[in-house]
Amino acid sequence: MPGTGHAGPKQLRRLLTAIATVGSDLDLDVILRRVVEAAVEMVDASYGALGVLNPERTHLSDFITVGIDPAGTAAIGELPKGHGILGVLIHDLRPLRLSDLREHPDSFGFPPDHPSMASFLGVPVYVGGQAYGNLYLTDKVGDEVFTDVDEEMAIALAAAAGTAIEKAWLHARVRELDVVADRERIARDLHDTVIQRLFATGLSLQNAVRLAAPLPDVVDRIQLAVDELDEVVRQIRSSIFELHAAEVAGMGLRRQLLTVGDELSDALGFSPTFRFEGPIDNAVSEEVADHVLAVLREALSNVARHAEASGAAVLVELEAGRLTILVDDEGVGPGPLRGDSQGLRNLTDRAEQLGGGFSLDPGPRRGTRMRWWTPIAP
């Protein structure tokens, strides 16, 4: 009876060669094409394709073909989405073998410029126990139908393809983790070494200001150097936060603000306390949140550089359409030097850009209170 039997030595060699070919690369695009090429050669098909399912597994999101040249593919136009016979395999994940797919009740026929096809073999491809797509083979060379052996070999190749696809995914994930580890190492080195040295240099220069008080020109130059160091520190911090962007992206604003406090605790010599009032995570736009994070970073950096503080408390309050940040430190108070840096001008500019305000005043008991606020659109 045609179509029955078992794989002979030649066919088994074909299968082993196909599996070795499919599993010899770690690039997903290469693997998918090799799967189709190997399947076409293995079962003597004229045409082959691999349809990749969308995440919801309702239709095809990608379609890799073999046997139709680029000009023919362009003439056909839009790639299949999984209707007709292809849709049967999407909804019924079992091998499907037909002597003439045109006679199947679910057949839609072929679009213009599509080659005519008759015999059909389709098998599902599973990755990690879930359907990834389907392997389609048509028009067996020299025969009217695909055989039982062809089906068995296609199923075996599909299983090997699933393993190769999963291996490619794991390899890509390892590469991503390597990149994350490198980002973390670079960010840590920038924070623990470069920024700390710049802080130390800035503090030394500020001490030199007192010694150079009788020489106004020297004081101005030293202050200019301090402001330039502050700008360098801000730029390095921006780089650090870009390196952390992948991790921070999933955090709410509260968690991101707490992260800023944690990252500046070494420079401060203490961990600031936080209090939140109002729907901080839900009502603040991404644009305003970026400003808020930069404001807190600048405010705490200002405390670290100038306040000689033993502690600081942060209040972030959202009430009556206004977001307010208060930073109260337990330091020496707002001297002239603290009110004349580029950082404080940046805080003013950010507030004015959003239609808000900024002030730096003596604290309610001691030290300094930084108040920054912006309206929040309803």
Q: Kindly tell me if the per-residue pLDDT of 103 is higher than 90.
A: no
Nearby residues of 359 by Cβ (< 8 Å), 6 or more positions away: 370, 371
Q: DSSP for 291-302?
A: HHHHHHHHHHHH
Into which CATH architecture does domain 9-171 fall?
A: 2-Layer Sandwich (3.30)
Give the sheet arrangement for strand 322-329, strand by strand: 273-277, 312-319, 322-329, 368-375, 357-362
pTM of the predicted protein model: 0.47
- For the stretch 112-165, pLDDT in tens is 778 888 899 999 888 877 788 889 999 999 877 898 888 988 888 888 888 878
Q: How many CA atoms lie within 13 A of 192 on its CB side?
A: 6
Query: What would the mean pLDDT of 247-275 be, rounded to a whole number?
Result: 79
Check residue 139 and give left, alpha or beta (phi > 0: left; psi -120 to 50: alpha).
left
Q: Kindly tell me if the per-residue pLDDT of 32 is higher than 90.
A: no
Q: Regarding the domain delimited by 250-378, which CATH topology (the fold level of the hierarchy) does it fall under?
A: Heat Shock Protein 90 (3.30.565)
Closest CA to 42 of 67, 6, 13, 63: 13
Break the chain into its structural domains and give their ranges.
9-171, 250-378
Q: Kindly tell me if the per-residue pLDDT of 319 is higher than 80.
A: yes
Query: What would the mean pLDDT of 87-109 be, rounded to a whole number?
Result: 83
Higher pLDDT, 256 or 190: 256
Identify the pLDDT of residue 278: 79
The secondary structure of residue 347, as a DSSP letter, is H
Write the CA distances from 302 to 207, 309, 337, integer angstroms. 16, 11, 11
Identify the pLDDT of residue 121: 92
Least confident of 138-142, 184-188, 368-372: 184-188
| CA–CA gap between residue 68 and residue 115 (Å, rounded) | 8
Query: What would the mean pLDDT of 186-212 be, rounded to a whole number?
Result: 70
Q: Kindly tell me if the per-residue pLDDT of 24 is higher than 50.
A: yes
Identify the pLDDT of residue 276: 85
The secondary structure of residue 335, as a DSSP letter, is -
Higher pLDDT, 74 or 239: 74
